[in-house]
Amino acid sequence: MKVNTTSTSSVWRGLQYFSVVSAVALIIVLLVRPRLGLFIAWDVLIPLVPIMLLVAPMLWRNVCPIAVVGQFFERFGLSRRRKLPRWLQRVAPTISIFLLFALVPLRLVLFNLDATSLALLMVVTVVVSLVGGAIITGKAAWCATFCPVLPVERLYGQRALVNLPHAHCETCSGCTRACFDLIPSRSLSVLADSHNKSHNKKSPLRPMSLFAVAFPGFVLGYYTAPAGISILLIYLWILMMSVIPAVTFTIIQRMFSLERTTLHRICAALAISIYYWFTIPAIALAVVETFGTNAGSVWLINSVRGVLLVVAAIWLAAGLRNRAVIAV
Ligand code: SF4
């Protein structure tokens, strides 16, 4: 088990401030040039996040502008540094998964199309993180607890190909359990109760474990939701697409006595592969719609897809090999 080191170098600080300025600029662009703002958000910035989480998750954790804003009061000694109640820490993973499953389908009918709504969502999130950080210690007000991206960070960040230090908490106040920043490789397995072999078969499914097996279907459901249906039907579609593979994966795990950590890695590789399979052609289409120019041939689209699938396969192989080495 490797505990992550802390870095407060000026390079990280520079990247963090640049990230906050960029987020403010994006909010302004969303309001004054909505089409361009939506393109930058959904077709440039967001597609970079999953691959960043797979390869070097601490890069995203360190420079996410919402995390930086949340640390503002703590950094300057102005936070009241209260502890988040234990019961709230316990239900935080469930709340963050619920927020993810509630917000992502809304992209199809709202956030992908309406730049003002997206700008408003960004502002609300920044305010919640900032105000929370003024009261709660560490990152427990938002990015280590309730952030809807955190379950995805835990899933994809199980086995970083490139290890980086964390660059927020100069001294750890133990603000949350299973801290991603301290031990990224165990932040999922601890919550899913799959790090301990003796617990592996006895314990009931935990929210994070359930999330891991449902996520590939969730991503597939998002991209295959029939066009023109109501938001209620979109939720039902995505729910159905999440439940079917989750049940199937769980049955397979039981039948073949697979370790949950192995299953979680396979699910992560599958989910990110599905994501990029659908996202790359969508980006090419968005370039055509936004700028009126062709973004590249089918050959180029398939080449980018291929490269990303190979990265996912390398990540999976490295994770499984690591487990085999530990078992030996
Ligand atoms: S547990 Fe420690 S390192 Fe992790 S977010 Fe909280 S204060 Fe920072």
Predicted pLDDT of residue 186: 83
**Which residue type sits at 263?**
L
Report CA-CA distances (Å) from 46 to 51, 60, 87, 255, 260: 10, 11, 32, 37, 28
Q: Which protein residue has the closest C-alpha to ligand 1 atom 4?
A: 179
Q: Tell me the three state secondary structure of residue 201.
A: coil
Ligand 1 binding pocket includes 136 (Cβ within 6 Å) = no
Q: Which residues of 164-184 are buried (b: 16+ CB within 10 A; e: fewer)?
A: bebbbbeeeeebbbbbbbbeb
CA of 175 to the centre of ligand 1 (A): 5
Predicted pLDDT of residue 56: 96
Q: Report the atom number in ligand 1 closest to the C-alpha of 173.
A: 7
Query: d(Cα 193, Cα 229) in Å, to the nearest integer?
Result: 38
Q: Tell me the three state secondary structure of residue 6.
A: strand
Q: Please give the torsion angle defined by the CA atoms of residues 268, 271, 272 and 273, in that order, rounded to the nearest 10 degrees.
A: 120
Torsion sign across C-alpha atoms 69, 166, 60, 105: negative
Predicted pLDDT of residue 328: 45
| Ligand 1 pocket test, candidate residues 145, 154, 176, 187, most atoms within 8 A of CB | 176
Ligand 1 binding pocket includes 22 (Cβ within 6 Å) = no
Structure tokens at 280: 């790359």
Domain coordinates in residue numbering, the chain: 10-167+174-327
Predicted pLDDT of residue 3: 80
pLDDT along the chain (328 residues), means of 10: 82 96 98 98 98 96 97 93 94 96 98 98 98 96 96 94 92 90 87 63 72 97 96 98 94 91 95 98 91 81 96 95 59
Q: Please state the pTM of the whole predicted model.
A: 0.92
Query: d(Cα 137, Cα 176) in Å, to the nearest integer?
Result: 9
CA of 195 to the centre of ligand 1 (A): 20
Predicted pLDDT of residue 195: 60
